[in-house]
């Protein structure tokens, strides 16, 4: 079938769920990944066609898109800080807001001195690996509770040529770390159960719930535990960085003040929501 006809089928089948621009972008990402064709290839060769066998992966992807499976899980690929990451149902899809957190760390620390960095709840490894790549003098360690996520993160480090030490542990049960750090960063689970109703159905259906949710009655459980550890394992003057629930910025400032962290500052994401906080020991 001609590629342009397949594109029309995509629009017809998906128009009830996605807008036309999104459908175009899905289609072009798929033909790029599967056949190395770009938008330009199709514009220059409008009659280009695929054999039955060749077109099969496109129709399989179409069926998954109809079920609202995120394109990143279909392609098993996500882009973050200019790097390519494998993602599986065991890892959260890295978000653009988290790229802003990584950028903020790069702007805050002194890139010329050796830094020991700990990323807690690493998932695909996106934060740890991006920091290891962008901070030449950093020694990066990353923790997650999920051994399956860590397998993916290890492959991502290898594929991106990054050196990261990975450790499987439950941070809520951890009372000791083996060394001190200059930076501790975490994007822990922070979505309250009460916020479930306002979430997109494709996030709820496909993304790992251990990566997302916390109990309504204790939404800062991870931040409390990590701040307690940071009090003991962050160097004097070291920085603690968190991605946060946009509705809990004030509570996060209070938590950090309660634990005697200094110079805390909230930062908004590109959508204007309080999305990250940093503070110094």
Feature table: binding site:
121-125, 144, 187-190
- Between 55 and 90, name the residue whose CB sits nearer to ligand SAM: 90
Q: Report residue 35: phi and psi, to 5°.
A: -125, 0
CB of 21 to ligand SAM, least distance (A): 25
3-state secondary structure the chain: CEHHHHHHHHHHHHCCCCCHHHHHHHHHHHHHHHHCCCHHHHHHCCCCECCHHHHHHHHHHHHHHHCCCCHHHHHCEEEECCEEEECCCCCCCCCHHHHHHHHHHHHHCCCCCCEEEEEECCCCCHHHHHHHHHCCCEEEEEEECCHHHHHHHHHHHHHCCCCEEEEECCHHHCCCCCCCEEEEEECCCCEEHHHHHHCCHHHHHHCCHHHHEECCCCCCHHHHHHHHHHHHHEEEEEEEEEECCHHHHHHHHHHHHHCCCEEEEEEECCCCCEEEEEEEC
Cβ atoms of residues 87 and 93 within 8 Å: yes
| Nearest Cα residue to 69 out of 88, 96, 95, 97 | 88
Binding site for ligand SAM (CB under 6 A): 92, 94, 98, 121-124, 126-127, 143-146, 149, 170-172, 187-189, 210-211
The nearer residue to ligand SAM, 55 or 123, going by C-beta atoms, is: 123
Nearer to ligand SAM, 14 or 72 (CB): 72
Is the CB of 45 or the CB of 108 nearer to ligand SAM?
108
Select 7 or 154, whichever has its Cβ closest to ligand SAM: 154
Q: Rounded to the nearest whole angstrom, what is the least distance from the CB of residue 72 to ligand SAM in the complex?
A: 11
Q: Which residues are annotated as a binding site for substrate?
A: 187-190
Q: Measured from the CB of residue 146, what is the shortest distance to ligand SAM in angstroms?
A: 4
Residue closer to ligand SAM by CB (options 61, 118) is 118
| Paired strand residues for 241 | 185, 278
CB neighbours of 41 closer than 8 A, spacing ≥ 6?
31, 48
State which residue, 191 or 266, has the beta carbon closest to ligand SAM. 191
Residue numbers belonging to the annotated binding site for S-adenosyl-L-methionine: 121-125, 144, 187
Q: How far is the CB of 32 from ligand SAM (least distance, A)?
A: 23
Provide the pairing of β-strand 115-120 with 181-186. Answer: parallel
Least Cβ distance, residue 69 to ligand SAM (angstroms): 18
In the complex, the smallest distance separating the C-beta of residue 130 from ligand SAM, rounded to whole angstroms, is 10
Residue 247 C-beta: closest distance to ligand SAM, Å: 16
């Amino acid at each position: 079938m001609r590629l342009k006809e397949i594109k029309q089928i995509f629009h017809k089948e998906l128009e009830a769920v996605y807008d036309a621009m999104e459908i175009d972008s899905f289609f072009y990402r798929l033909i790029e990944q599967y056949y190395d064709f770009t938008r330009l290839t199709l514009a220059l060769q409008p009659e280009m066609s695929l054999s039955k066998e060749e077109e099969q992966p496109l129709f399989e992807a179409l069926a998954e898109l109809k079920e609202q499976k995120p394109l990143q899980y279909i392609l098993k690929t996500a882009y973050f800080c200019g790097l390519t990451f494998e993602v599986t149902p065991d890892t959260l899809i890295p978000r653009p807001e988290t790229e802003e957190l990584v950028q903020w760390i790069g702007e805050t620390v002194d890139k010329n001195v050796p830094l020991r960095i700990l990323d807690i709840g690493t998932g695909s490894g996106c934060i740890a690996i991006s920091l290891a790549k962008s901070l030449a003098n950093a020694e990066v360690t990353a923790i997650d509770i999920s051994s399956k996520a860590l397998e993916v993160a290890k492959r991502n480090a290898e594929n991106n040529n990054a050196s990261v030490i990975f450790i499987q542990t439950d941070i809520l049960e951890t009372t000791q770390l083996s060394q001190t750090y200059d930076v501790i960063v975490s994007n822990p689970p922070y979505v309250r159960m009460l916020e479930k109703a306002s979430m997109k159905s494709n996030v709820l259906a496909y993304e790992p719930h251990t990566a997302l949710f916390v109990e309504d009655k204790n939404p800062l459980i991870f931040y409390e535990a990590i701040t307690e550890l940071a009090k003991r394992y962050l160097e004097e003057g070291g920085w603690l960085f968190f991605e946060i629930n946009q509705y809990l910025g004030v509570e996060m400032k209070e938590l950090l003040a309660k634990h005697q962290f200094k110079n805390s500052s909230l930062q908004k994401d590109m959508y204007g929501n309080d999305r990250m906080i940093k503070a110094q020991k």
